[in-house]
Structure 1
Amino acid sequence: MNKPVIGVTLFRREKDKSNSKYGTINCNYVRAIVEAGGIPLLIPIVNQPQDIKYYLELIDGLLLSGGQDISPEFYNEEPVDELGEIDPDRDSWELKLFTEAYKKKLPVLGICRGMQLINVALGGSLFQDIYSQYDDSLLHTSSDGESCAYHKIIIESGSKLEEILCCLDSLYVNSYHHQALKKPGKNLKVVARSDEGIIEAIEAEDSDQRFLVGVQWHPEDLAGVDDKSLSNHCFQQLFKSLISSAENNS
């Protein structure tokens, strides 16, 4: 059997002041997919909607990666002052890419921004800034904005996510975000929250028919191949479940 090919979305960064932009990705995404038995295929921001069908013919599953804030124009809100860096071209491209993957019932895992994008694509909305719009006492990102914070999440009993994560009902996860889900989109159910009520994971209501999971934390940074702890093993199970679902398409 061929190894499943997993498309991984890239984000763009300016390397210097020359206006040159670079497509980039954290290598931990790639490592997690490879260790789970898949072949990562990096998908750049192309903004040629007619080419989406060709990308989807090449892949057996899709991983929507983290990155910048999602522009509120895509869920019909005006931006707040605390909105961070946005890339509307990326938003537009990935929303179209996900929509077509969703129609094909391609297995999809969304991480951080990726979960938020799934929600917006299915008609949901976001807190543009949880500190000013939800609770300014939360700790979901570090003071320097670079290193991660950690907090506990509670996982819904009987959910697909609970099954994937070693049937654990709670976990400590990392956190780099200041946006979060507000109104869940269509066909999505909330399956994990932080102690303060922030939505930490979603999955499809028809999870018996499709693999569609979104998590707010970054499991690729926690699923270390050299760490033998139970929790790190369980985070890697997210990627193994994506690969297992994608095998039916390979």
Structure 2
Amino acid sequence: MLKKPVIGISSSVITDQGGMFPGYKRTYVNKDYADAVIKNGGLPIILPFNEDEEIIKGLVSCIDGLILSGGHDVAPFNYGEEPEQRLGEIFPERDKFDFMLLSEAKKKGIPILGICRGFQIINAYEGGTLYQDLSYIDSVPVYKHSQGHSPELRTHSIEIDENSILHEIFGVKEMKVNSFHHQAVKKVAEGYRVSAKAKDGVVEAIEAENYPFLVGVQWHPEMLVKMYEDMNKLFTVLVNKAEERMG
């Protein structure tokens, strides 16, 4: 039997608010991430949050591709800023965890996909900055980027750069996406380029200029793969790139 490429998915920690064990902590990631990897030919492994550098290195040594998943706001001290009034809940220990995963994955040269927070983590780790809330963008009117509707609903358009990896994947210059974020990329990290924007100017995707496959997207494609066949393309390419790296 052919070995499937192993795709590691970064996890967070959720604390039970009730039930039998209030206050009990659980390793956590939405099931859609794993389902998207499975549907597109990969073998998903949840990478449990921890703060042990050797364990993190060991986890990355076992995977062929990496997904940095969504979650808390990225702490602003990661990009040299103080917290502003509309900053949401942060989890600095997870920022460090994701930074180490990204660092080790890059050393290994494996394909990397960042989703929502994971997209912002890539930009912050590489020296870029974030708007701590969309309301701090004062140059243009900003659309509603936290849709408050079904995860499968595509609520706003993005425009894709024709010279980007994203355009190679989707083959279109414009498409609609779902949207669940209140932070956004401000300064794009050096060595990265913008590959998609919303029509209000908010950055929706970036990609590394000198890395085989390192892409970050602001929307949640894993929530769309069951209803929209086009969204599978992103995970298919990730899995295929991981398979190429294997052999």
Per the TM superposition, whether the score is higher than 0.5 is yes
Partner of 2:43: 39
Shift of 1:136: 6.5
Taking the aligned partners of 2:125 and 2:169, their CA distance within structure 1 comes to 24
Partner deviation per Cα, 1:90-140 (whole Å, 9 max, x = no partner): 011111110121122210000000000011111111000012344664200
Taking the aligned partners of 1:81 and 1:148, their CA distance within structure 2 comes to 30
Aligned pair 1:223/2:233, yes or no? no
1:142 corresponds, among 147, 151, 154, to 147
Identical pairs, percent: 41
2:81 corresponds, among 60, 71, 77, to 77
Secondary structure of residue in 1 paired with 2:114 = strand
Q: Which runs of 5+ in 2 are unaligned?
A: none
Partner of 2:197: 193
Taking the aligned partners of 1:158 and 1:52, their CA distance within structure 2 comes to 35
Partner of 2:165: 160
Q: How does 1:25-174 map to 2 (within 5 A)?
A: 25-134=29-138, 137-142=142-147, 150-165=155-170, 167-174=171-178
Shift of 1:248: 2.5
Answer with 46-55 or 138-147: which moved more: 138-147
Q: Normalising by structure 2, what TM-score?
A: 0.92
Taking the aligned partners of 2:69 and 2:24, their CA distance within structure 1 comes to 22
Partner of 1:246: 242
- Residues 151 and 224, structure 2, Cα contact 8 Å, conserved in 1: no
Taking the aligned partners of 2:124 and 2:141, their CA distance within structure 1 comes to 24
Q: Which runs of 5+ in 1 are unaligned?
A: none
Secondary structure of residue in 1 paired with 2:88 = coil
Answer with 13-22 or 85-94: which moved more: 13-22
Shift of 1:21: 1.8
- Residues 152 and 223, structure 2, Cα contact 8 Å, conserved in 1: no
RMSD: 1.9
